[in-house]
Structure 1
């Protein structure tokens, strides 16, 4: 008979496993992110620039979802507008990642990327926006801002028309929680302005 190895906890793990308050606090914070994203979804729906988009992009209502394991950490996301197809995508994802950041990302693929690539390229070229990031990979579900996924648009000229998937994103620090709603709403408008011809 094989002897099972002992599973023990570190002193810090022992302290946490006996304290329910930190999990309850985490749950309250996630609830507050849901409330924040609910407020944002209402603001997003009132954005006049949405009316310039094809009608099918606006058919689905905002969706808020959460998970426990994006690179091992909890997250919450709000998708609106959200038009996800196998071949074609037009979506804006607002993302909360525990211990890391808030972000908001315009994601285009297929016919929507083809439709908007030239005007987005022109708008990016005309504005040197230090806060705007662009994807370096074609991985649709990566949300981190490391170099294997995102770089600032000012760091390197990216040819948008060569991409299979385009993601343009703005990041907001968790330390700026009290300003996050206003910053994310403003970034939502900025991302929509990128698809507008001027």
Structure 2
């Protein structure tokens, strides 16, 4: 009897499992995100070339990937540039997380953090990162802004050189879907200006 109770469906679950429409809609939305990220990747490459970003950072092409289980929910991510080493990381990750938001994150660690700490500090001092978020933990692969980040303040400029890892994230709420491309392009361009030659 106990085993049967564990596999029984609630009324809501039964309604969903008998209705293919919602899963087809979900799949269509994910395809639209994938297409949007394809458009963004082309835009990002063009911007990176125009802004004289160091060539070594642009040798690996953009990568779009998707999955179903980031904290139990579907996601799509675009990494460019993407320099992932054991000790040294420089990446800009554009992320769609179902039910939450789009985000665009500058991820610096090791020698890249040492190289670009000054420009990040200056951007914080000048207020260029107002409205952005900064990591509060060393959990490198946590993309949940609500859980592991807080708004950037001018006091953060003093901690940049003291950290082993810095992640700066901009958010675009899903309710602003139609403006997401513009918002993400602007966030990406700001990060590129921090790492250009």
Q: Do Structure 1 and Structure 2 share a fold, with TM-score over 0.5?
A: yes
Partners of 2:167 and 2:45 in 1: CA distance: 21
Give the equivalent residue in structure 2 for 1:144. Answer: 144
> How far, CA to CA, are the matches of 1:137 and 1:50 in structure 2?
34
Residues in 1 aligned to 2:101 and 2:61: alpha-carbon distance in whole angstroms:
25
CA distance in 1, matches of 2:154, 2:125: 12
Select the structure that is richer in helix: 2
CA apart distance, 1:196 = 5.1
Flag the 1:3–1:68 CA change in 2: closer, same or farther, 3 A.
closer
**Deviation, structure 1 residue 191:** 1.6
1:155 offset after TM fit, Å? 7.5
Question: How many residues were matched structurally?
Answer: 195
Q: Does 1:11 align with 2:6?
A: no
After TM superposition, the score normalised by the length of structure 1 is: 0.91
Whether contact under 8 Å (2:34, 2:76) holds in the other structure is yes
- Kept in 1: contact 2:51–2:193 (CA 8 A): no
Listed one character per residue, the Cα deviations across residues 22-52 of structure 1 (whole Å, up to 9, x for unaligned) are 1111110000000000000000001156653
For 1:101-140, list aligned pairs within 5 A.
101-127=101-127, 129-140=129-140
Cα RMSD of the aligned pairs, angstroms, is 1.9
> What secondary structure sits across from 2:119 in the alignment?
helix
CA distance in 2, matches of 1:129, 1:23: 38
SS at 1:52 equivalent: coil
Structure-2 separation of matches of 1:166 and 1:52: 23
> Quick check: 1:49–1:189 contact (8 Å CA) kept in 2?
no
Distance 1:4 1:99, change over 3 A: closer
Between stretches 150-159 and 28-37, larger displacement belongs to 150-159
- Give the superposition deviation at 1:157: 2.7
| Structure 1 stretch displaced more, 134-143 or 41-50 | 41-50
- Structure 2 length-normalised TM: 0.92
Q: Supply the distance in 1 between the matched residues of 2:2 and 2:27 (Cα, whole angstroms).
A: 38
Ranges in structure 2 where 5+ consecutive residues have no aligned partner = none
Equivalent residues of 1:133, 1:152 under 8 A apart: yes
Aligned partners of 2:104 and 2:184 also within 8 Å: yes
